[in-house]
Amino acid sequence: MVTATPSFPSTQHDHASCVERSLEAAEQLCRDHQARLTPQRRRVLEILLADHVAVGAYEIVDRLADGGRRPAPTIVYRALEFLIELGLVHRLASLNAFIACGHPGAVHGAQFLICDSCGLVTELADPALTAAVREAAERADFDVVRPIVEVAGRCPACRSQGGRADA
């Protein structure tokens, strides 16, 4: 199980290294699962790694076009399915968008803090929170398939600029 202290990217965040480590982890994960990280799949992952924000499928289509020919949306959805299945990407239902996994390859429940103001997203992988969700579901005789929690609010930068988010 993964444990990590949640944080939004700071001004000292080395995003290039962040992206490089994530792509290396994706390549290793594909090798481990004897799966192919095709150029199209890699490009979709790169788009999701470009910023710490969730991106919709049609925005991915637009970015892939990059002024040229737009790929069919089914190509993007297939790439996203592959990346989700491998644990490289998460779908954020509340935003109908996707984000690169902060802990690729690790089996974990995922919790997301989503800033309503700027759109930044940070991923938690808190085992205690995952266990609490599973225990509550068990009490309700519910079988958890994907323990994903999405929490809306304001990141530290937006909170310092405009006050507190509603609780």
Place of tokens 């700071």: 10
pTM higher than 0.75: yes
Q: 3-state SS string over 93-130?
A: CCCCEEEECCCCCCCCCEEEEEECCCCEEEEECCHHHH
Look up the CATH number of domain 108-167.
Answer: 3.30.1490.190
- Map out the domains of the chain as residue ranges: 12-102, 108-167
- Tally of CA atoms within 13 A in the half-sphere of 108 that contains its CB: 25
Residue 58's pLDDT is 95
Domain 12-102 has CATH 2.40.50.180: no
- pLDDT-derived band at 13 (thresholds 50, 70, 90) equals low
Q: Do residues 129 and 108 lie in contact, with contact meaning Cβ atoms separated by under 8 Å?
A: no
Share of the chain above pLDDT 90, in %: 56
Which of these, 8, 31, 18, lies nearest to 105 by C-alpha position? 31
Structure tokens at 85: 């299945």
Residue 12's pLDDT is 58
Segment 114-150, tens digit of pLDDT: 999 998 998 888 889 989 999 999 999 999 988 889 9
